[in-house]
Amino acid sequence: MAISKRKMNRIKENLTGYAFCLPGIVLFLCVGLYSVCFSIFLSFYNWSGVDFAGTARFEGLNNFKNFLANGNPINTKLFWTGLLHNLEIGALTMVFVIPIAMVLAYVVTNIKRGAGFYRTIYFLPMVASGVGISYVWKGLFGAKGFLNTMFDTLGLDFLVVKQGMLGDPKTALIGVVVTCIWSGIPGTLMLYYAGLSNIDNTYYEAAEIDGASKVQMLLKITWPLLKPMTMITVIQQLNGAFQMFENIWVLTGGGPGGATDVVGTLIYTAAFEDAAYGRASAMGWSVFLLTAVLSVISIRGFKSDT
């Protein structure tokens, strides 16, 4: 049976599309998928990074026990403390990012002139280099940085931290949270801006006719319609908190005295300083599973409210 010319052209178009996608697919299969599968496999082995076939030793679940429970008490304490820091950073970031981004999105939505300019300004932290921005914050929070200098100039000596905010165990985590809030606002603002722009004004007009106040409109119309955006924000912030590494490493290196250690820095230390690649992989997958569970809980929680 002869193939029509139209169908032949469609097949050629499809083959052309697959040909363009092929390099990316091959790269993913050879690098991405292989790395993921090997890291799962490695989680059950003790390996120092040299000659896997000759030196790797099967450990079963011992790598997980080493830091979760009934293993090395030091590793266990470090892991749970680091995990707690991840949760604290994520929770505190969300508490501030969501309301601030929502207010800014509302302001930008109602700006008549220069809305594009303000959107660009708010979006800049997302396109800037994360490492470069972290060094800027490190300078601001330093012992002789802008923050201490400003407090000293204003006569607020009780707010001056001699070692710098990132050098004091009591304030280091606060400094990290501040940087996360600053970097987390732009993306969330854009989500809320898109959500607010898509809300039909007839809802507000009908509510105004019924005598609803601005607060009632916010609680009964705006907030429910923005719940999908809030759900995305919560999941993004959770993922970001548990994947955190580069900014912590630049700002504090996990110090002082482990005050800002997170699971990411512990994984790096286990792999590249202790040469315990199996334990590092096990920690990574443990956090992945925890993040997946928390994300599912968040999704179900938002759906149950709708």
Give how far the C-alpha of residue 266 lies from the chain's centroid of Cα atoms, to the nearest Å. Answer: 17
The DSSP code for 4 is: P
Cα diameter, the chain: 90
If you search the block for the tokens 């959107």, which residue do you land on?
119
Classify strands 57-58 and 45-46 as parallel, antiparallel or unpaired: antiparallel
**pTM for the complete prediction?**
0.85
3-state secondary structure of 58: strand
Q: H or E stretch including 55?
A: helix 52-55
Q: What is the pLDDT of residue 1?
A: 47
What are the φ and ψ backbone dihedral angles of 200, each rounded to 5 degrees? -70, 130
Domains of the chain: 87-257 (1.10.3720.10)
Please give the chain's pLDDT, 306 residues, in tens.
456 777 777 888 888 888 888 888 888 888 888 888 999 999 999 988 888 888 889 988 889 988 988 778 888 999 999 999 999 999 999 999 998 988 888 888 877 777 677 777 777 777 777 888 899 999 999 988 888 999 888 888 888 888 999 999 999 999 999 999 998 888 888 888 888 888 888 888 888 888 888 788 888 888 888 888 888 888 888 888 888 998 899 999 998 989 999 999 999 999 998 888 999 999 999 999 998 888 888 888 776 555
The DSSP code for 46 is: E
| Cα separation, 279 vs 66, whole angstroms | 8
| Cα separation, 133 vs 195, whole angstroms | 28
